[in-house]
Structure 1
Amino acid sequence: MQSKILLPVILGTLLLFCISNRGGATKCNLKNIVVTQTETSEWAHGMSVYAVTVKNTCDCPQSNVMLACDGFNTTLEMDPLKFQYRVDGGLCPLNNGEPVVQGHDVNFKYAWDPPFPLQPAKSTIACK
């Protein structure tokens, strides 16, 4: 008789755990990827150099982050593991597709004038 009562309690507990765990993931979204750009005092081939910081303000890692980068250009050589400009425009991969984790910002620089409005366009949220 106790096993008949215990099974629904265990199933109910597991269901509640799954719902509450999933609830944490739904709080994260693309708005948690924050891009800031600061003009530095540096110049590269006659263009202003901008320092870009990309932060994830969510507890959940976000991988495959893509920035809208249509028309992007630079006179500064860039690390392709941090930001990959694609000639076809549109979307540019950040951090080589690896997760952007809260507290571990992705930083890169580019040189152009005026600055480009790099904005988050896509990501995959991965909560455990």
Structure 2
Amino acid sequence: MSYLTKKKKLLLSLIALIVVVFTCAPGALQFGRGLMEHVSGSTGTRFVANGTGFNSAVNTSGLHRKLLLQRRATQVEQPNRIWGDRCSNSDIVINQGPTDPLPSGIPTYTVEIMNVCTTGCDISGIHLSCGWFSSARLINPRLFRRIRYDDCLVNNGKPLVNGHTISFQYANTFRYPLTVSSVIC
């Protein structure tokens, strides 16, 4: 290969690199977000080009961790019990997920409310925060009903036996966030 051919290839490579940087980078550089990263092998240090002309080194030697969702200021975290109460709000687990829509096209959701008390307790008087809960599909009011705004009663207030689950479906255009507000041990 001649010197001129090598020079042309190098020039074309440089132009291609510049085109890639300018087509990918404008949004990242404009908002100051890192665009390019280089991770050193054994040191676990990542160098990030942040678009401001300054590069930063970030230590990544620890395990990657998920970011924890921050609780709203209105939510109160229940303390872990060691010698205290027999049960708490955290012994009721609520799962809900989408199911097949109604023939009219309204989305439906299945809700499972489980008693997972580790001390073997039956929990009664289960109240959920449920907003203005309503459903286009009829729900047995002995299983679940809204008493007033943001207060729904589970199992007609009767005990939910340890290890058992109450399940029902509701239909609405959006999913209601359901959280345990109070229980009776």
Q: How do residues 1-128 of structure 1 correspond to structure 2 at under 5 angstroms?
A: 26-43=85-102, 45-58=104-117, 59-86=120-147, 88-125=148-185
Number of residues of Structure 1 aligned to a counterpart in Structure 2: 102
Q: Give runs of ≥4 in structure 1 deviating > 4 Å.
A: none
Contact 1:81 1:96 in 2 (8 A): yes
Question: Going by fraction, where is helix more abundant, 1 or 2?
Answer: 1
* Identical residues among aligned pairs (%): 29
Q: Specify whether residues 44 and 31 from structure 1 end up closer, same or farther in structure 2 by C-alpha distance, changes over 3 A only.
A: farther
* Deviation (angstroms), 1:106: 0.7
* Deviation (angstroms), 1:27: 5.0
Q: Specify whether residues 24 and 60 from structure 1 end up closer, same or farther in structure 2 by C-alpha distance, changes over 3 A only.
A: farther
Report the structure number with the largest CA radius of gyration. 2
- Structure 1 residue runs without a partner (length 5+): 1-22
Superposed CA offset, 1:52-96 (max 9, x none): 00001102111010111112121111100100123x312111001
Q: TM-score, normalised by structure 2?
A: 0.51
Q: Specify whether residues 82 and 24 from structure 1 end up closer, same or farther in structure 2 by C-alpha distance, changes over 3 A only.
A: farther
Higher relative contact order (CA 8 A, sep 6+): 1
Q: Distance in 1 between the 2:94 and 2:107 partners?
A: 18
SS at match of 1:96: helix
Contact 2:87 2:123 in 1 (8 A): no
Question: Going by fraction, where is strand more abundant, 1 or 2?
Answer: 1
Which residue in 1 is equivalent to 2:40? none
- Structure 2 residue runs without a partner (length 5+): 1-81
SS at match of 2:100: strand
User: What's the Cα RMSD here?
Assistant: 1.8
